[in-house]
Amino acid sequence: MRGMIGLMALMLTYSVALAPAADPAAAPNTVNTFNRLMTNKLQRNLPPMEDGIHDPANEGTAMLQRPKDAFGTMAPSNGGNYVNWVESLKKGSINPRYNKDDPTEEAVVFDLDIVREVKGTMPDVVYPHDRHTQWLDCSNCHPDIFIPEKGKNQISMAQIIMGQKCGVCHGKVAFPVSECRLCHSKTKK
Amino acid sequence: MCDSSPPLSGMVMKKGAMLLCLGLALLTTPVISAENAAKTAPAAGLLDQKSGVVERFLQRSETLQQDKARSESVQKEVERIRQLHKDAQAARQANDLAKAQALLDKAVSSVLTLSRQLADPAKQAWLHKAHYEDLQEGVAAFEQSYLRHQQATDGKEKGSVDLDKVHGLVNQAKELAASQNYEKANPLLAQARDMLVKGLKGMLNAKTLVYDLKFATPADEYKYELDRAASLESLVRMALTGGKVSGPDQKRVMELTAKSQEMNLQGRSLAASQDYKGAISVMEKSNELLIQALRAAGMPVF
């Protein structure tokens, strides 16, 4: 039950079957409806009753704090839900409990970078474990989302936008794929 | 994933449990740090929310009392929560919002603890079992990873894990699980997993692993290009369905996509005749056309 933020993200994994590529315009028009951090700016950070994620019929939904109230004191960001979560954590604006059953448990921060080379002109991807493990437990991602072994995980931007792999969090509760350079950050030699 | 009696599929139940956890976490996690809390008075809305949680629990607890014989310690705890809630209301009336919040935080924390104790035993048992299965998978994956990295460094790196102890814990957990005692088995598996993670951390901390693009065979590289094509085609469809691509741009996107698909077919044909190098070359060009299509559709591919 560690790494609660990761669990938030896991709630919303969807998959959508894509039609063959013959007619791109014929694809369903719902691909981005759950990718909420890429929606129109005015539709982001809506109150829980209106956000399309929480059940408005559930009385508990009305008790949840509104994002705009919660995010007011946090470090700002230009993308996603306009919160720089890494910076907010660093500054102490937030102090999430690592283990819901144990307020004293501290995160096991793992400083390991994975560089994933990609073909084409885009810079290679750097995955920093350190800032992820400040929030998450290893088991939030391994082995269900990512098998901890080179070559065992096929990852594509399409999958991520469809809410799989990195998209389990990014685009929902973490910055969206529109912030290309935050991940594609290693210039090719 | 689960062969006993959950009313829903394993994945759905898992998500349900996660949703519950999320709710609990949001309610228990202070939104601002203690340091900042001292500087800013708690919002009235937040106090209302916390107070609401406690009130609902107290109402529910009265109903529960009629249904079940309750232990003395539970009764005492309910009374303690009731008192905390009363004190918080008094503090609020006296305009001491910080004190009210602190009291409500204590009350909410106790509500959550007690709610877990009073939870449906069948559901709890199922959750323990699901957690056991997750832990088992985690231990297996981390052990494989640990062994691979240790082998890669000829065991020279730090982080040696007592694998006999890990296996001992896993076996003990299995025995407990065999008698359906997942609740006691889980801490053992968690301990085994934490030992492996600690070992991995000892070996890999402050390092960079490069997942390079060296392919074992041309067939592997061809497969990579095919996957890439599938991803790019999906992205083109997504770009077009966003409804933001103008008519002329859309025409250009369609032209590029059509050309790409022709080349894609050529590539597949070459691969079918075992000419993987030729297939890769054609597929790379085909994929480049799709990237151009994405740019034409306004996607930021640089």
Average pLDDT of every residue of chain B: 82
**Residue A150: its chain B contacts at CB < 8 A?**
209, 211
Confidence of residue B115 (pLDDT cuts 50, 70, 90): confident
Considering only CB atoms, B22 lies closest to which of A7, A19, A111, namely A7
Count of A–B CB contacts within 8 Å? 197
- B141-160 residue pLDDT tens: 999 999 999 888 776 665 58
pLDDT value for B92: 94
**ipTM score of the complex?**
0.75
- Whether A179 and A82 have beta carbons less than 8 Å apart is answered as no
pLDDT value for A35: 58
pLDDT value for B241: 82
The arrangement of secondary structure in A2-186, i.e. its CATH architecture, is Alpha-Beta Complex (3.90)
Closest CA to B180 of B128, B138, B123, B136: B128
Closest CA–CA distance from residue B181 to any residue of chain A (Å): 18
pLDDT value for A142: 94
B293: enclosing H helix or E strand: helix B276-296
Predicted TM-score (pTM) of the model is: 0.69
Q: Which residue has the tokens 């494989």?
A: B144
Q: Which residue has the tokens 């982001």?
A: A44
Domains of chain A, residue spans? 2-186
Task: Report DSSP letters for A112-171, one per residue.
Answer: EEEEE--SSSSPEEEEEHHHHHTT--HHHHTTTTS-SSTTS----HHHHHTT-GGGGTBT
Q: Average pLDDT of B25-33?
A: 40
Which residue type occupies B221? E
Q: Do A21 and B288 touch (CB under 8 A)?
A: no
Least confident segment among A32-41, B54-63, B214-223, B249-258: A32-41
- On the question of pLDDT at B1 being above 70, the answer is no
Q: Do B18 and A11 touch (CB under 8 A)?
A: yes
Closest CA–CA distance from residue B189 to any residue of chain A (Å): 12
The gap from C-alpha B33 to its chain's centroid, in whole angstroms, comes to 24
Considering only CB atoms, A119 lies closest to which of B148, B228, B230, namely B228
- In which residue ranges of chain A is pLDDT below 70? 1-39
Q: Does A71 or B24 have the greater pLDDT score? A: A71
Considering only CB atoms, A73 lies closest to which of B21, B32, B134, namely B32
Closest CA to B233 of A162, A154, A23, A177: A23
Which residue type occupies A92? G
Q: Average pLDDT of B25-50?
A: 55
- B160-209 residue pLDDT tens: 899 999 999 999 999 999 999 999 999 999 999 999 999 999 999 999 99
Closest CA to A25 of B212, B79, B240: B240
Helix (H, G, I), strand (E, B) or coil at B193: helix
Distance CA A82, CA B268 (A): 44
The most confident of the ranges B4-18, B75-89, B231-245 is: B75-89
pLDDT value for B212: 92
- Whether A158 and A151 have beta carbons less than 8 Å apart is answered as no
Q: Please, which residues bridge with residue A127 across strands?
A: A114
